[in-house]
Amino acid sequence: MKKIFEEYKFKHGKVIQNRLVLAPMTTYSSNLDLTLSKAEERYYHSRAKGMGMVITAATAVNKNAQAFERQISARDVRYKDSLKRLATAIKSNGAAAILQLHHGGRMNMPGLYPNQDIVSASSVKANRDYAVVPRELKTSEVYDIIDDFTNACRLAIAAGFDGIELHGANTYLLQQFFSPHSNHRTDEFGGSREKRAKFIMTLVDRVLQVKRDENADDFVIGYRFSPEEIEEPGIRMEDTLYLVNELAKKDIDYLHVSLGNYKATSIHDKDNVLIATRILNVISRRIPLIGVGNLESRDQLEEALEIGYDLTSLGLIALADKNVSAKIKNNQTPSKVFTKNSGLPAPLYERIKTWGKGLESRGYTFE
Ligand SMILES: Cc1cc2nc3c(=O)[nH]c(=O)nc-3n(C[C@H](O)[C@H](O)[C@H](O)COP(=O)(O)O)c2cc1C
């Protein structure tokens, strides 16, 4: 039986101290030049305590990739020291450090900087009030973005990270290429399901090549995805099962399914089977799966491991209670009260506070 507090070894040898993962969470708190702020450094150091691994906030791989204000960047070598501080803040408190690499595509917040160029697979606006019609990327520009991801991966290795996670979830650019809603391309990156997956598959092959070039043998490469979209047409479970089967053939270290609840079932298929179970059946132990969503107690974490997840990500609960790992270990209930002393960078605390009702329904309060 899997235990929360036991070491976990990835297939290329990286060992982490337990199965708890800090979920990737944007902090909106970098310095204005998009380097890591002191507040973020303190936050990551405190949240690393007792975690097997920490996945950083979505980190922009080039200028156009930036989706939010004050989002840290890995766009070029000028950001190496900032990234080094981030890796060190995490690793010096015992967790493995995973840099989440990101391009927001059509979901980028307009007006972040002058002459912003919002791009996507095709010129199709997202169903969001704030969204604008993006510019369709030329084929050569798609390859440029793949280069930006691989350069950011090389930078992560140089900065001392233990791995990267490719952010293919939550409606951002990688997902936009895979989705029939946002991808109407007629070149090699669009059309059939296989062609819509080509951006992702090419990117995965290229970061694996970086790892070989840099002799970073135990460097961890993970892939995060969202299994379904509400859009019509949009990604359905059938697409996702195809995608995870293809990803499981690659020499990467984990998959991370982004769900609001670790026990979610499909929003389209009326089959009442857990999404996790359907994914686990397809990957059939070829690659570990990280679960996330409403994992807030020891019982839930144990249940998640029983369902078949290999590692478990903590989001909001780890923001509210910096001692979440120790509390779970000691069978105590983590706190759901956000206070100014929760150790969160101020813009993150203020942002979460604006979510009000959604959080209250989950029992979170503010002091
Ligand atoms: C403040 C905040 C920022 C987030 N930023 C990211 C992000 O940068 N990348 C990402 O993949 N998911 C992001 N997420 C989603 C979380 O990783 C996680 O999937 C979600 O919070 C569900 O887990 P929970 O129920 O434990 O909070 C964010 C969530 C929160 C609350």
Q: What is the pLDDT of residue 347?
A: 96
**C-alpha 10 to ligand 1 mean position (Å):** 23
CA distance 163 to 104: 20
Nearest by Cα to 1 from 301, 355, 351: 301
Q: What is the pLDDT of residue 294?
A: 98
Backbone angles phi, psi at 192, to 5 degrees: -70, 170
**C-alpha 197 to ligand 1 mean position (Å):** 24
- The chain-wide mean pLDDT, for the chain, equals 97
Helices 80-91 and 139-158 cross at an angle (nearest 10°) of: 50
Q: pLDDT digits over 332-344, tens only?
A: 999 999 998 889 9
Q: What is the pLDDT of residue 3?
A: 98
pLDDT band at 162 (very low <50, low <70, confident <90, very high): very high
Closest CA to ligand 1's atom 1? 25
Task: Give the ligand 1 atom nearest the CA of 294.
Answer: 25
Q: What is the pLDDT of residue 342?
A: 86
CA distance 158 to 154: 6
Q: What three-state secondary structure class fits 238?
A: helix
**C-alpha 271 to ligand 1 mean position (Å):** 27
Fold of the CATH domain 8-366:
TIM Barrel (3.20.20)
- Strands 8-9 and 15-16 come out as antiparallel
At 338, which helix (H) or strand (E)?
strand 337-338
CA distance 183 to 194: 12
pLDDT band at 356 (very low <50, low <70, confident <90, very high): confident
Whether the bond into 233 is cis, omega within 30 of 0 = yes
Query: How many residues does this entry show for the chain?
Result: 367
Encode burial over 226-251: b for 16+ CB neighbours within 10 A, e otherwise: bbbbeeeebbbbebbbbbbeebbebe
CA distance 199 to 193: 11
With a pLDDT cut of 90, the percent of the chain lying above it is 98
CA distance 173 to 196: 12
Closest CA to ligand 1's atom 2? 25
Domain boundaries, given as residue ranges, for the chain: 8-366
CA distance 303 to 309: 9
Q: pLDDT digits over 164-188, tens only?
A: 999 999 999 999 999 999 999 999 9
Mutate to test the pocket of ligand 1, among 20, 21, 22, 26 (most ligand atoms within 8 A of CB): 26
Going from the C-alpha of 160 to that of each of 99, 155, 302, the distances in angstroms are 10, 9, 32
Annotated active-site positions, please?
Answer: 172
Q: What is the pTM of this model?
A: 0.99
- Asked if 187 contacts 242 with a C-beta cutoff of 8 angstroms, the reply is no
**C-alpha 290 to ligand 1 mean position (Å):** 13
Q: pLDDT digits over 75-123, tens only?
A: 999 999 999 999 999 999 999 999 999 999 999 999 999 999 999 999 9
Closest CA to ligand 1's atom 21? 315
- Residues with C-beta less than 6 Å from any ligand 1 atom: 23-26, 57-58, 100, 167, 169-170, 224, 258, 292-295, 314-317, 352
CA distance 233 to 343: 42
Task: Give the ligand 1 atom nearest the CA of 352.
Answer: 1
Of 4-8, 235-239, 338-342, 359-363, minimum mean pLDDT range: 338-342
Closest CA to ligand 1's atom 28? 25
**C-alpha 95 to ligand 1 mean position (Å):** 18
